[in-house]
Structure 1
């Protein structure tokens, strides 16, 4: 079990401003190794990327060498939280990208330039619909691959099941999380109860695939999910004429991390998210860039520490939809 960091803007420092500093603790996963190529990486073949190594706690926890790698790593992470003292906490974030959605198919078909300037502004093209895009059959298969991986890893590799599950409000992530985790033989103390968080979504604005449905619609169509407190019915963030910048997305994901580290005492956390949001999350965590294919997963061991002063950095202003320089209907397939 981890810790909630009750830092709330100065509580830990006599009322003066404070913030959480996030650091990726490297040397435990292949994904944080600069020599690992993201384009060819397959988490299902390498134990989610956990490196086969020893830990300082092995002599105490596993003196006879009988424990599995994940068991020894979990014990080591627990020891970090036991020994770190106040103002510091460690969590293992298991961040998954949704499976292929119909918007991914459309962008591949029309090309990124035509997608960004024209097609992404529409709800569909008369054949495909990508407004709050659903998973394609391939996307569901990718989520099923993740389900099968977890089914084996829980029992054979002894990977700890997540204690908390968070999902983007966009339905491709909810669908991916449901296919991945529903029906697994999970511990009774760690049931799959996904919580929808507003800030875990993809880049905000312009693209209709990133405009969420109302809360009432999500609840009716995905009754297994619950919502963070004060989750509004209508999407308060999406605008048709403004697109969130990368730097603003990093600020948003840092705020999301603050919410999780401040309010969730669990150590093992699952995020079901998007490529852009994951890239910004890794940036906020000080992790190297690591692009995930649809259905990909990246675990990160994170250290959070309460620091004096306000967090530096502001997001750049949103951008307008780009002007089309070619006829988007005649763009060649990429």
Structure 2
């Protein structure tokens, strides 16, 4: 797989880091399995900032307003080579592929079922959201409305994966919020904002024409090809390869987008790699989940250090007949 270059001059590169202390998800004591992003105000920590005395001397501003001012101050007082952005990372709602993996089990899914177009229950090529997935996106929509009342810094840029489950999740999440940039909602579709590519048919995107037909108001980034250039039917991108791709993605965003507050609607693997690139602790999101991350980027002279990138992988060999996993998966679902 060839990764499109970020456009960052070859004589410099970005070094990314997470600025901790602002969100509960930054802290090792926060358990991803039990964390509720809705009830915790996206994880925003109630605390004072050193900028409060001049911005909010009478203690009339909300926590979000004070955080927004703090981030803007960081940018204003930083040297030209340093910038800060607050990223709102949202995972898509449940898709039919998520249901199928639970039905068959991860081993059978990886070695057999994920390579097919679907089963008797439906098709998962560039799969759609289930009713539960739509409900999870509606939950995110309501969560955003709640934070808007608390005066969250509005996203100034909206980016979305080209896979249908993300295109749909973003639409349900942000349409009707009345935030700037959502009436009409016209996010930018970015090729690299993808799940791990290859083998799994759920991770093969639709054609450019099909995306435009279903989401005519969405903007497509320049150079976006008609057919999927990243999906390979024979091999799957390694985790380190995916993380290298997201280093290029973030370098592209930080090099070309001057906005500070950004929304990304993406995937579990995508968000895992973004967090790794910016030095955040591992924090797995459930389908429909949201995690904000304050990121510091510094443009450093010289080319980026070489990354160790494992080669793409072939599908694993099935340890037993994958069709025997069906009843086992159904039993698991029945108990869930």
TM range (shorter): over 0.9
Aligned to 2:8: 8
1:160 is displaced (CA, Å) by 1.5
2:118 alignment partner, one of 119, 124, 131: 124
Change (3 A) 1:53 1:24: same
Residues 22-54 of structure 1, C-alpha deviation per residue, up to 9 Å, x if partnerless?
000001000010000000111100111010011
1:185 is displaced (CA, Å) by 1.9
Partner of 1:68: 62
Please give the alpha-carbon distance, in whole angstroms, between the structure 1 residues aligned to 2:104 and 2:7. 47
Alignment of 1:135 with 2:118, yes or no, is: no
1:1-334 correspondence runs (5 A) = 8-10=8-10, 17-155=11-149, 157-187=150-180, 192-312=185-305, 313-331=307-325, 332-333=328-329, 334=332
Structure 1 residues 63 and 25, CA gap change in structure 2 (3 angstroms):
same
- Compare 186-195 and 159-168 and name the one that shifted more: 186-195
TM-score (ref. length: structure 1): 0.94
1:7 Cα shift? 8.4
Return the offset for 1:191: 6.3
SS of the residue corresponding to residue 276 of structure 1 reads: helix
Do the aligned partners of residues 190 and 49 (structure 1) sit closer, same or farther apart at CA in structure 2, a change above 3 Å counting? farther
In structure 1, C-alpha distance between the alignment counterparts of 2:256 and 2:250, rounded to whole Å:
10
**Partner-residue secondary structure (3-state), 2:9:** helix
Bigger shift: residues 112-121 or 186-195: 186-195
Between the aligned partners of 1:20 and 1:103, the Cα distance in structure 2 is: 35
Structure 2 length as normaliser, TM-score? 0.93
Which structure 1 residue ranges, 5 or more long, are not aligned?
Answer: 1-5, 11-16
CA distance in structure 1 between the partners assigned to 2:144 and 2:118 by the alignment: 34
Coordinate RMSD, CA, aligned: 1.5
4+ residue stretches of structure 1 with deviation over 4 A?
A: 188-191
Within 1, Cα distance between the matches of 2:49 and 2:283? 25
SS in structure 1 of the partner of residue 252 of structure 2: helix
Deviations 1:64-86 (A, max 9, x none): 11100000000000000000011
Secondary structure in structure 1 of the residue aligned to 2:287: coil
- Partners of 2:15 and 2:181 lie apart in 1 by 33
In the TM superposition, residue 222 of structure 1 has moved relative to its aligned partner by 1.4
The secondary structure found in structure 2 opposite 1:43 is coil
| Residue 188 of structure 1: how far off its partner (Å) | 6.7
Whether contact under 8 Å (1:121, 1:206) holds in the other structure is: yes
Q: Could you tell me how far 1:61 is from its partner in structure 2?
A: 0.1
Which structure 2 segments of 5+ residues have no match? 1-5
Matches of 1:308 and 1:152 in 2, distance apart? 42
1:147 CA drift (Å): 0.5
Per the alignment, residue 3 of structure 1 pairs with: none
- In structure 2, distance between residues paired with 1:198 and 1:189: 21
Check 1:254–1:188 CA distance in 2 against 1; reply closer, same or farther (3 A cut).
Answer: closer
Alignment partners' CA distance in 2, 1:268 and 1:216: 30
Q: Corresponding residue for 1:14?
A: none
